[in-house]
Amino acid sequence: MNQSDFLKVVLPFKDKVFRLAKRLLVSREEAEDATQELLFKLWRSKEKISDYKNVEAFAMTMTKNYCYDRLKSKQASNLTLVHSNYKEKETSLDKKIEHQDSVNQVHRLIENLPEQQKIIIQLRDIEQYDFDEICKMVDMKPTAVRVALSRARKTIREALIKKHNYGVS
């Protein structure tokens, strides 16, 4: 596989790789490093890439594993899980602040989910992967993925309702 073919295969999903890495790692810099490392690993194995049925799913699984390894490493002992993936539209300042507060609240709630639920909600609701792809990436059965996603959404929904009804975060 030449460089041009490699880029045609990898470039369409590199932003998804970055967003997943950013969801799992503390900073933009860490996520950029993870993305670069993943792309380098894919480049080194470019001759084998055509053997994979879904290169994107393979890359997302590699990203997840790499990020988990980073989080477990000693040099990552000060990392926390953060994410910001919100693009603003032209609205009034108070609406922007209110909306950003809601987005931040959802991100905080996602951060507090169990790891499995966190990764599944990222892949399904943010990255828009279908269930079959998610099952392969997290090595779980479809029913287990659906249950984990449902529980994650329910936890977030209940916390938001509680905050809305009582003004407590």
Q: For 67-125, what is each residue's pLDDT tens digit?
A: 888 877 745 455 444 444 445 445 567 777 777 777 888 888 888 999 999 999 989 98
Mean pLDDT, rounded, of the chain: 81
- Indicate whether 44 and 119 sit together in one domain: no
Q: Which residue has the higher pLDDT, 120 or 165?
A: 120
> Which residue range forms the structural domain that includes residue 129?
93-169
Question: Which pLDDT score is estimated for 146?
Answer: 94
CATH code of the domain containing 14 = 1.10.1740
CA angle 25, 115, 85 (to 5 degrees): 45
Of the three residues 35, 55, 81, the one that is the final residue of a domain is 81
122 CB-near residues (< 8 Å, 6+ apart) = 19, 20, 23, 83, 110
In a domain, 28, yes or no: yes
Question: Which pLDDT score is estimated for 145?
Answer: 94
Q: How many H helices and E strands in the chain? A: 9, 0
- Indicate whether 9 and 70 sit together in one domain: yes
Q: Which residue has the higher pLDDT, 82 or 30?
A: 30
Of the three residues 59, 81, 103, the one that is the final residue of a domain is 81
Question: Which pLDDT score is estimated for 168?
Answer: 52
Burial 20-52 (b: 16+ CB within 10 A, else e): bbbbbbbeeebbeebbeebbeebeeeeeebeee
Question: Which pLDDT score is estimated for 90?
Answer: 54
pTM: 0.55
CATH code of the domain containing 136 = 1.10.10.10
In a domain, 11, yes or no: yes
- Indicate whether 33 and 70 sit together in one domain: yes
Question: Which pLDDT score is estimated for 36?
Answer: 92
Q: For 31-60, what is each residue's pLDDT tens digit?
A: 898 999 998 888 888 777 777 778 888 889
Question: Which pLDDT score is estimated for 76?
Answer: 45
**pLDDT-wise least confident of 19-23, 67-71, 126-130:** 67-71
- The number of domains in the chain is 2
